[in-house]
A and B are shown apart, each in its own frame.
Chain A
Amino acid sequence: MNAATGITRRAFLTGAAAAAGAGAAGGLAAGCAAEAPTVAPAGGGLRPAPVGGTRPAATPGAKSRVVVIRHDALAADGQGPPPGRVRELLDEAACALAGDARAADAWARWFKPADRVGIKVNCLGYPTRPAVAAAIAAAIAGIGLAPEQVIIWDRTVDELRRAGYEPRASGRGVRCFGTDALAPRGGGYGTEIITSGAIGSLYSRIVTDETTALVSACVLKDHNLAGLTCAMKNFFGAIHNPNKYHDDGCDPFIADVCAGPPVRDRLRLAVCDALRPQYQGGPSHRTQWQWPYGGLLVSADPVALDRVALEVLARKRAAAGLKPLEAEGRPARHLASAEARGLGAADLARIEVIGIGKTWMDVA
């Protein structure tokens, strides 16, 4: 009750709504449906999503599936792994994830020829290796998409270039550019704030205007606030104001960014570059805390992928004599928040890990 006017807030708002007009009211409504999950929890990642982005309803009791494929060739330092070998291993992982014998059949479960696919890489600190992004792009193009329908992207052109990519916004072949390449209008971001849970952000126009499907081509590394940065945190690079969302270990903000319709409705697959993960000192690049794990993690469930990645980091930290992330006051709380939003499975008991090659839990 407003003491001076004698009207309740509800009554005031009722009257105010008419004055403000429907258009104004709509401003806050945008994105408010973020709580409604369209990404099936738990089992949603088990069965590959059909093309078109709508995922099947979760099968009760079904587990999300994460493939971890490891090979010495992936752990090579210097110029990075041989691209052809990365592609072979990635296809093998895709087949295992989808349960298909042919790679093209597996990839066709997540993408269709009419899609425009954005491969979101992470260029901050130690980046997603270009060979990994290129292998994803080639695999997707292999199901009948023109290469020009595939975009490898991050925040800025300069960041991509520094990470070893060759930015190219047009011409033949896979395109590669930053959100800033869509400037000057809005710096490459949308113009309407999208509210999702606790966040209110403009999403990259690469997401909203240029793509129908997304791949989180993330890198596995420690994060000084969130515990780890992987498939979900990668999408902080899709909004214009990530700096506003670092409090409280980035929770629930990471989950809310991913639950925002632009990401939630497009994200089909997560592929994690765990070639040389970093288990301490992130997100900046600290070679003394990297090790040659030589792995790729692949899943249609970004939460499950992050949970498995977290387990890899935790085991490595323990082996190195470091405190658990919880003891350092930076547990990866955003996993539980993501699960609560229906984005996937955060409990290892509800995740099926398919290991190919060296066992995924061996962090020596």
Chain B
Amino acid sequence: MNPRDGKTRREFLRVAGAAACAACAACAPGRRAHAQSQPEGQAGGPRPQVAVHDAMWYDRLPDKAVKCRLCPRECTVADVERGYCGVRENRGGDYKTLVYGALCSLNIDPIEKKPLFHYLPGTTALSVATAGCNMECKFCQNWNVSQYRPEQVDSLLVPPENLVRMAAARRCPSIAYTYTEPVVFAEYVHDTAALGRQQSVGSVMISNGYIREEALRQLCRHLTAVKVDLKAFTEKFYAEQCSGRLAPVLEALEVLKDIGIHTEIVVLIIPTLNDSAGELAAMARWLVARLGPDVPVHFSRFHPIYRVKNLPPTPVEMLDRARKISMDAGLRYVYVGNVPFHAGESTYCPSCGKTVIRRVGYNVDASGLRDGACRACGHKIPGVWSQEQALAFRPREKSAPPSPPPPPARAPAAS
């Protein structure tokens, strides 16, 4: 069963295969490589597989060990072992990704589902994922794939060129790397996004932001937008609930700001775990100070799942409160997510208060927006409002570090 959309494996493969064939019948995008053999007497059926490709970010160490440089974990991985993500393996001192194009999810989604609200509203994104994640959030909605190893899930091999063709054929202006954690299949994101640019298909990464600066900057040469899950604003939460750290995520957000790529933020509010007024206010103040008041922020509703089943769904009042706290702190575009028909789904002009983009579920009416500005008052609304604008994005070069303070004046040497 596909955890995201309730499809069975058979349905998934059929849909994926049909989509792939429609896009490029000659390219055999559904090819299954590295099919594993079955024991004699074993019932038939498709077998899991992996797609091996050189990893991009790692250092070689003595004794055939490697040090992964992709995410802040920086796993030291011995020969024949894998990193924390479970999808990168040391093979004789060469580090490999096992999920290059091995897609376990392939759907066409509204861009609002990512959610990206200030990026090509009302369009669709060809949305893909592979197995694996570099965190383990105890509340993960997609744990059935994110917490699995690639050989444990059904997948379909789709090379970058086929995925780009598929997106174009289905008139999806964007490919979304989503559902699980794109950082762990960053090589595929990198190559597909680069190819997509050449063929006028944008790429958006829906990520936990747990990535080192070098890799993030390389990806952003080709991406057109990023959404980051800011899971909480305490190290305690990240350590206890996600097996991760907050500081690297904040650093990644500042890198994204420096790069200048369109970024939106989602915060899943989990009752009693990350919903205190003080924490939310501190988070909002940090966002305003470091990313600016225009960064869109979505407060989403939690539903019990995976290893957090003892808490109820987030009360809507909690989301309203989080939204108010954030707006009081100066954030201008704050949304409520996973609550259909909520007024907080829509975009309002911070100048005149008129509705600029009305949303009801995934239905979008952007008639209040004209040329990227409020139709009523002309206030410019930050975002990416056309495919031309998306594809025109080029990352800013890395800012020079702040100049060191001048050395203290020397006392004149005694003659």
Q: A residues bordering B, Cβ < 8 Å?
A: 2-5, 9, 12-13, 16-17, 19-20, 24-28, 124-125, 156-158, 161, 167-171, 176-178, 180-181, 183-184, 186-189, 193, 195, 200, 224-225, 240-241, 243-244, 246-247, 281-285
Contact = CB atoms under 8 A, between A and B. Distances in A.
Given A9-B272, A180-B48, A224-B65, A28 B307 contact: yes
Nearest to A182: B42
B39 to A, nearest CB: 4
B310 A28 contact: yes
Contact of B78 (A24, A158, A168, A284): A284
A176 B38 CA distance: 11
A180 B40 CA distance: 13
Given A180-B36, A241-B86, A16 B312 contact: yes
**Which among B39, B82, B306 has the highest number of chain A CB atoms within 10 Å?**
B39
Contact of A193 (B63, B76, B148, B306): B306
A282 B64 CA distance: 11
Given A177-B39, A181-B42, A20 B311 contact: yes
A257 to B, nearest CB: 15
Nearest to B280: A4
A280 B271 CA distance: 48
Nearest to A177: B39
**Which among B79, B86, B152, B154 has the highest number of chain A CB atoms within 10 Å?**
B152
Contact of A156 (B80, B136, B151): B151
Contact of B39 (A168, A188, A240, A285): A168
A180 B136 CA distance: 23
Given A27-B309, A184-B46, A187-B148, A281 B63 contact: yes
Interface of B: 9, 36-42, 45-48, 63-65, 75-76, 78-86, 136, 138, 147-149, 151-154, 243, 271-272, 275-278, 304, 306-312, 318, 321
Given A3-B276, A25-B310, A169-B41, A157 B36 contact: yes
Contacts of A25: 309-310
Contacts of A5: 318
Nearest to A15: B312
A20 B315 CA distance: 12
A184 B39 contact: no
A177 B40 CA distance: 9
A177 B42 contact: yes
B153 A187 contact: yes
B272 A171 contact: no
A28 B310 CA distance: 7
Contacts of A178: 39
**Which among A5, A25, A26 has the highest number of chain B CB atoms within 10 Å?**
A5
B277 A3 contact: yes
Contacts of B85: 243
A189 B40 contact: no
A157 B37 contact: yes
B304 A170 contact: no
Contact of A157 (B38, B78, B138): B38
B299 to A, nearest CB: 13
A324 B186 CA distance: 38
A170 B47 CA distance: 18
Contacts of A4: 275-277, 321
16 contacts: A2-B272, A2-B276, A12-B271, A17-B310, A20-B309, A124-B80, A157-B36, A158-B37, A161-B37, A183-B48, A187-B151, A241-B148, A244-B84, A244-B86, A281-B63, A283-B78
**Which among B81, B147, B277, B318 has the highest number of chain A CB atoms within 10 Å?**
B81
Given A19-B312, A193-B307, A184 B45 contact: yes
A312 B292 CA distance: 61
Given A2-B276, A284-B80, 13 more contacts: A24-B304, A28-B309, A170-B41, A171-B41, A180-B152, A181-B42, A187-B48, A200-B138, A224-B65, A241-B147, A243-B83, A247-B84, A282-B78
